[in-house]
Structure formats: structure tokens, C-alpha cells
Amino acid sequence: MLILLCFVVLLILICINVPIAVALAVSAIIGLLATEGPGSLVTVALDMYDGSTKFSLIAIPMFVLAGALMNAGGITDRLINFVSALIGFVRGGLAMVNIGVSLFFAEISGSAVADVAALGSILIPQMKKRGYSAPLAAAVTSSSASLAIIIPPSIPMILYATSAGTSVEQLFVAGIVPGLIGAFGLMFVAYMFAVRYNLPVEEAFNTRRVFDTFMDALPAFSLPVIILGGIFGGWVTATEAAGLAVIAALLVGLWYGEFNIRHLRRAMLDGGMQTAVVMLLVAASVLMGGFLTRAQVPQQLAQGILDFTTNQYVILAILNVFFLIIGFFLHSAAAIILVIPIVIPLINAAGIDPVHFGLVVTLNLAIGQQTPPVASVLITSCAVARANIWEVSKVNVYFVAVLFVVLMLCTYVPAVPMFLVEYFYR
């Protein structure tokens, strides 16, 4: 009964736009007061402090910073040139370039809004000039940016791994194959649009040009090499890889000579604030988590659902529907922090691999970033393209369908995300 009250309070507070972190903490306090009395309020300070000192989450500000430095350091333009030389010969070349670059780029910084704004403001105007409709340009940008959250490094994955007590590194590895499948899917849809609207190719394929742009972008590739190579090779942890990524991004920016103090200052500031916003949520969830665990809520939920079914696929279907709905209303970070601690005992009891489930959750939330009312990535793309959200969504449906197919594939064919994990780690 009390638990129900806490959730109703949480829901009401979120609906009147109390920051979700505060809404979580306040409903936890109500629970604490009811069960343990006013003396327990000191826990607020202890838990809020403990929650903000989670060592594994130091990877977040580091990756955010590396991303912001990439944004500021001239890496974007060179990546675009290289990808354009590589796949610009396909019909609808600019859309292909957009998707290809997003995979390297978006969501590294954890602020999808900043990334989409940075990439979109370069590519979308060009696309419009080349005859792409504004809604199509926005839809391509938006959907490919969201696909990028399942490709390492990914802030939602770091948050999931910490909440679920599983390995960030393995989750990163699990994202690679589904990410590539998704990218090809998006490119296929973009190609169909390109044929239908007779959109131009970008440039003829020229080995010389590919080589030149590759050499120019080479320092930028040191980033994924360090991050992926270091983690796959088992030489560094995710946090250490993040630290190295910052050094690499700094060096690359200096090499290109495009840094100035204003860029650096803004990168640090944006990184710090993004981190604070997410970490306040994490801290509040520790307060809530403590209360829920003492009240045995996650265990009871797990038992309730297991009494109903023990079939993994049915449980995954239920959770998929749940996360798709949640994705309409919550930002991905908030959704993970809120829901994962509650469902993870169920996952463990049902014998579902938490790494596999992590990928399913992340994909769900990628789709959630495309579904209004809360769809920051979509809204940002629309703002850049000066297009109406509804018009964009009518085009975007086809791209979101690709994400959905990838989600179904990953949910029901666990080998798709997991075989690389098995190969590297088990």
C-alpha cells in the first residue's frame, strides 16, 4: 500500500515538472518517514553522498568531455569528408554520410542534443540544398543519432551496467553487431527514399580521394581505436579508456589546430553540467533503491511475474512493451536509473543474461528518443531542419521501423548481440 502511495506521489511530482531526481528523492523520503520515522532522515545526506561517489561512473564525465572536445576540435568536418569519399557515390549519398558519421560520433558526449545540433547544423542545410525534403533530412539525422547509443562508448550503457551490476565492457562489445546491422538497415531505407525522390550521388568514387581524406581524418580515428582496442584487448577498463579518449581528443584537436580557449571552456562546462544532471539522478536513485530493497519490492515483483510465467521470451516481451511505453515519457538516463534496479532481480531469477538485457533496454530507449512528447533527439533535428515534428515523424516511421526490427532481432536471437561477447569474454 505504502509502495503504491510512493509511486503515485512520484508520478504526480513528475507530471508537475518537479525534476525527476528530486521527485524520486521526495517519494523515497515519504517511504522512509512512514516506515522508519523522522530519525531516518539523516540517511538522505548519507545516500545522496554515496550515490554521487560511484567510482565506475567517472567514465561518464570523461566520455562526455572527450565528445565535447571532438565537437570543438575540428574532427567533425574531417569525418564527414572521409565518409563522403567512401560512400558518397551511392544514390542519396549525403544521407549515407549522415548515417555513417553518426555511428562514429553521436552520443559519445552523452548529450544527444549537443551532438545532433553539431552534426545536423552542418549536414542538414547541405541536404536541403541538394534537394532532400526538410522532413527527410531531419528523420535521417534523428534516427541515426539514436542508433548510435547502442554503439560504444555510450552513456546509457554505462548507467545500465552500474545499475544492473554488470560489465560495461561486455555491454559495449554486445552493441557492435546490432549497431552495424541497424546502420545498414537505415542506409537501405535512405536508399529507397533516394531512388523514389531521385536524390543525387555526392561524388564519384575515387581511390585517391578516399586515401587523402582518410589520411586527413587519421588522427580522429585514434579515438575509436583507443576506446575499442583498449577495451576489447582487456588492457584498460571503460573508465581508463575514457581517460585516454580525453587525451586523444585533446591531442587531435591540437594537431588540427582548431581549439581555442573558448571552445575548451565550453566543453568543460557542458561536460560538467551534463554529468551533474545525470549524477543527481543516480544519487536520488540510491536513496530510493535503499528504501525499495528494505521493502523487498524488486523481489516481490520478480516473484509475481515468475508466478505468472517463467518463459524468458514472454518476460522479455512484457519488458519490451513496458520500456517502449516508458520511452515516450522519459529521457533515456532517467528511464534506466528509475527502472533497472527494480527489474534486475526479475532478470536474474528468469535466467536472462543481464548483458543481453542491457542491449535490449538501450535499443528500446533509442526508439524512445524518436517518440514525442519526450524525444529530445527528434525535436533537436526538427529544430535544425526547421521542420514540423509531425511531418518529420511521418517520414521517420520507416527509420524507426528499422530500429524496431533490430530490437526484435536482438531480443529473440540472443546470439546477434552476444556472440562477440562469448568470443571475447566467456
Partner 1 sequence: MLATLRNFLEAVLEWVTILLMVLLTVIVIVAVLFRIFGDSLSWYDEVAAICLSWITYYGAALAALKRRHIGFDSVLLAFPVPIRMAALIIAEIIVLGFFVIMAWAGMEVLDVLEGDYLVSLTWVPVQFTQSVIPIGATLFIICELLSLPEYWRMTLAGKSLEHAEIEEEVEAEMKKAGAN
Q: Give, as ranges, the residues between 120 and 149 that touch partner 1 (CB under 8 A).
A: 120-122, 125
**AA letter at 207:** T
Q: What is the C-alpha to C-alpha distance for residues 342 and 338, in angstroms, rounded to an integer?
A: 8
User: In the complex, what is the shortest distance from the CB of residue 357 to partner 1, in angstroms, rounded to a whole number?
Assistant: 23
Shortest Cβ distance from residue 353 to partner 1 (Å)? 28
In the complex, the smallest distance separating the C-beta of residue 415 from partner 1, rounded to whole angstroms, is: 34
Concatenated DSSP letters of 111-151 = -HHHHHHHHHHHHHHHHHHTT--HHHHHHHHHHHHHHGGGS
> Smaller CB distance to partner 1: residue 284 or 316?
284
Q: Pick from 6, 10, 31, 43: which binds partner 1 (CB under 8 A)?
A: 43
- Using CA atoms, how far residue 29 sits from 25, 36, 49, 281, 283, in Å, is 6, 10, 15, 15, 13
> How many helices and strands, by DSSP H and E, does the chain display?
21, 0
Q: Under DSSP, is residue 237 helix (H, G, I), strand (E, B) or coil?
A: coil
Assess 57 for contact with partner 1 (CB under 8 A).
yes
- Contact string (CB under 8 A) for partner 1, positions 279-308, x = contact: xxx-x-------------------------
Q: Which of residues 378-407 bind partner 1 (CB under 8 A)?
A: 379-380, 383-384
What is the rounded distance in angstroms from the CA atom of residue 246 to the CA atom of residue 269? 15
CB of 341 to partner 1, least distance (A): 17
- Answer for the pair 158, 170: CB distance below 8 angstroms, yes or no: no
Give whichever of 234 and 304 is closer to partner 1, judged by the CB atom: 234
CA nearest neighbour of 118 among 62, 61, 77, 179: 77
Cβ-contact 190, 95 below 8 angstroms = yes
Q: Does position 102 bind partner 1 by CB under 8 A?
A: no
Report which of 136, 168, 138 is spatially closest to residue 54, judged by C-alpha positions: 168
Task: Pick the piece of the chain touching partner 1 (CB under 8 A) from 151-159, 188-196, 261-269, 292-300.
Answer: 261-269
For residues 362-381, which are near partner 1 according to CB under 8 A? Answer: 373-374, 376, 379-380
191-250: contacts with partner 1 (CB under 8 A): 235-236, 239-240, 242-244, 246-247
User: Judged by CB under 8 A, does residue 20 bind partner 1?
Assistant: yes
Number of residues that bind partner 1 (CB under 8 A): 73
**Single-letter amino acid, residue 400:** V
Smallest gap from residue 293 Cβ to partner 1 (A): 20
Q: Which grid cell sits at 372?
A: 514525442
**Smallest separation (angstroms) from partner 1 to the CB of 54:** 7
Helix residue ranges per DSSP H, 295-353: 297-308, 312-329, 332-349
Nearest to 154 by CA among 362, 375, 319: 362
| Minimum distance of partner 1 from residue 276's CB (angstroms) | 3
Nearer to partner 1, 18 or 176 (CB): 18
Answer for which of 19, 214, 301, 409 binds partner 1 (CB under 8 A) is: 19
Q: Quick check: 366 and 333 in contact, CB under 8 A?
A: no
User: Which listed residue (221, 232, 329, 404) binds partner 1 by CB under 8 A?
Assistant: 329
Task: Supply the minimum distance, in Å, between the C-beta of residue 405 and partner 1.
Answer: 28
- Among positions 6, 99, 118, 346, the unique one binding partner 1 when judged by CB under 8 A: 118
**In terms of CB distance, is 120 or 185 closer to partner 1?**
120
Inter-residue contact 257 to 118 (CB < 8 Å): no
Q: Which stretch binds partner 1 (CB under 8 A): 93-101, 179-187, 304-312, 330-338?
A: 330-338
Q: Of 10, 29, 139, 187, which lies in the binding site for partner 1, with binding defined by CB under 8 A?
A: 29
C-beta separation of 20 from 338 below 8 A: yes
Residue 194 grid cell: 533516394
